[in-house]
Amino acid sequence: MRTRITNIREIVTPVCPDVAVGTDMDKLTVYTDSDIILSNGIIESIVPRNRHEPPINRVLDAENAVVIPAFVDPHTHMVFGGTREDEFNLRIQGEKYMEIAAMGGGINSTVRATRNENEDTLFEHALQNLHDMIAYGTATFEIKSGYGLDTETELKQLRVIKRLQKSQSVDIKATFLGAHEIPPEFRDRKEDYIKLLCEKMLPAVKEQGIAEYCDIFCETGVFDIEESRRILNRAKELGFKLRVHADELTPLGGGELAAELGAASADHLVHVTRAGIDKMVQAGVVFDMLPGTTFFLMSDHFAPAGDILAANGILALSTDFNPGSSYTHSMPMVITLACLKMGLTIEQSINAATINGAYSLGLQDKTGSIHKGKQADLTFLDAPSYKFLVYNFGVNRVSAVMKKGEFIFQKS
Ligand SMILES: [Zn+2]
């Protein structure tokens, strides 16, 4: 079946179909007076508007929208019980995280709620969040476990991710994040929890085949470099690919560790060192930036995106959607923050939110740009130009989202 998408104001795509790095990061290709031809949900070509292209089975009117690749979000924590708006309200009034944690709040409250929630309810909540994120233009996701911190609940979260993968047409990559925090029952015996992770949880997840990646919160007071290396090496030995929450709150060296172990990405990197940047560039590890988290935690210290770009690092953007430190479904919001707070240009931020996210998940052959042979994963913007994504801040200009050639969201 061949489809022609017509009446498009502009078609905007990363220049290179694989990854945007170096000067490619500064560019986007913009087509005007052009249509997109799809064949069975796959992009076949971009043709001049008046060129005849038979046979066409279906014509879709884009209603003069700007068409960009659907966003790829390579870092979310979408499956969780409960929300933490009361804690947020205390936090913005000056309450410190440690005091909130002492009152039973913080990540432990999400762990309690996730352990207590049954699998069907957890799935329904996650599905609602997924649809909310799609409505902001995202059609490819990574989702982590990490609010169970015991074998049973971590597997429950991963089964929910599996159900999302099976029931929804969006692409989803699953990540096991059992090393997100030390659970309360292991507070004074971290070594026992590391043993549980390495000897029981990781093999159990592997056996079920329900996670492609293993991630860890490598941070002062959580898992130090040596502990992270042990856990990640064990994961690697079992065949997991790696991602790392690195250098978010302190310059511990998570970026260097990600490079040493050949991780797919290191994420956050607010405090990544010069040496960390260089090693990650050399090893080809993606720098996944999460400016929504820094913003939501009310810090003015953002990740050094300028240094990373100057070093030719591969820069991606994510929402980090989670109930504690980044409760947003909106990739456009993250793009706006990347420009206003990290100094990215609009072109750099769109490359980071599309092709480089796809590259980070190993999906660059399928999605992330508008090139021949890729899935028609497209986001339609009701806007005069793609620049309105940042310029018209705080407003959702997404009018429709297409996945593999079919609409999965249309604004009513
Ligand atoms: Zn995270």
CATH number of the domain within which 40 lies: 2.30.40.10
How many angstroms does the Cα of residue 48 sit away from the middle of ligand 1?
Answer: 43
**Exposure on the CB side of residue 243, measured as CA atoms within 13 A:** 30
**Cis bond before residue 55 (omega within 30° of 0):** yes
DSSP string, 227-267: HHHHHHHHHHHTT-EEEEEESSSS--SHHHHHHHHT-SEEE
- C-alpha–C-alpha distance, residues 191 and 387, integer Å: 50
How many angstroms does the Cα of residue 250 sit away from the middle of ligand 1?
Answer: 15
102 CB-near residues (< 8 Å, 6+ apart)? none
How many angstroms does the Cα of residue 319 sit away from the middle of ligand 1?
Answer: 9
Does residue 164 sit in the same domain as residue 90? yes
Does residue 296 sit in the same domain as residue 377? no
- C-alpha–C-alpha distance, residues 117 and 109, integer Å: 12
Q: How many domains does the chain contain in total?
A: 2
* Overall pTM > 0.85: yes
Contact (Cβ atoms closer than 8 angstroms) between residue 247 and residue 276: yes
Does residue 247 sit in the same domain as residue 125? yes
CATH of residue 155's domain is 3.20.20.140
Does residue 23 sit in the same domain as residue 153? no
The range of the structural domain enclosing residue 53 comes to 2-69+368-410
How many angstroms does the Cα of residue 160 sit away from the middle of ligand 1?
Answer: 18
Does residue 49 sit in the same domain as residue 169? no
Does residue 37 sit in the same domain as residue 75? no
How many angstroms does the Cα of residue 347 sit away from the middle of ligand 1?
Answer: 25
Does residue 63 sit in the same domain as residue 76? no
Does residue 356 come out as left (phi exceeding 0), alpha (psi in the -120 to 50 range) or beta? alpha
Best CA proximity match to 197, nearest among 221, 225, 227: 227
pLDDT tens track, the chain, 412 positions: 999 999 999 999 999 999 999 999 999 999 999 999 999 999 999 999 989 988 999 999 999 999 999 999 999 999 999 999 999 999 999 988 778 877 878 999 999 999 999 999 999 999 999 999 999 999 999 999 999 999 999 999 999 999 999 999 999 999 999 999 999 999 999 999 999 999 999 999 999 999 999 999 999 999 999 999 999 999 999 999 999 999 999 999 999 999 999 999 999 999 999 999 999 999 999 999 999 999 999 999 999 999 999 999 999 999 999 999 999 999 999 999 999 999 999 999 999 999 999 999 999 999 999 999 999 999 999 999 999 999 999 999 999 999 999 999 999 8
Best CA proximity match to 270, nearest among 297, 232, 301, 236: 301
Best CA proximity match to 361, nearest among 201, 141, 205, 156: 141
Does residue 210 sit in the same domain as residue 338? yes
How many angstroms does the Cα of residue 3 sit away from the middle of ligand 1?
Answer: 38
Does residue 106 sit in the same domain as residue 26? no
Does residue 134 sit in the same domain as residue 82? yes
Does residue 319 sit in the same domain as residue 265? yes
Domain boundary among 344, 360, 376: 360
How many angstroms does the Cα of residue 46 sit away from the middle of ligand 1?
Answer: 37
How many angstroms does the Cα of residue 317 sit away from the middle of ligand 1?
Answer: 12
How many angstroms does the Cα of residue 65 sit away from the middle of ligand 1?
Answer: 33
How many angstroms does the Cα of residue 329 sit away from the middle of ligand 1?
Answer: 14
Residue type, 325: S
Does residue 173 sit in the same domain as residue 201? yes
Those residues whose beta carbon sits under 5 angstroms from the ion ligand 1 are 320
Best CA proximity match to 364, nearest among 3, 69, 36: 69
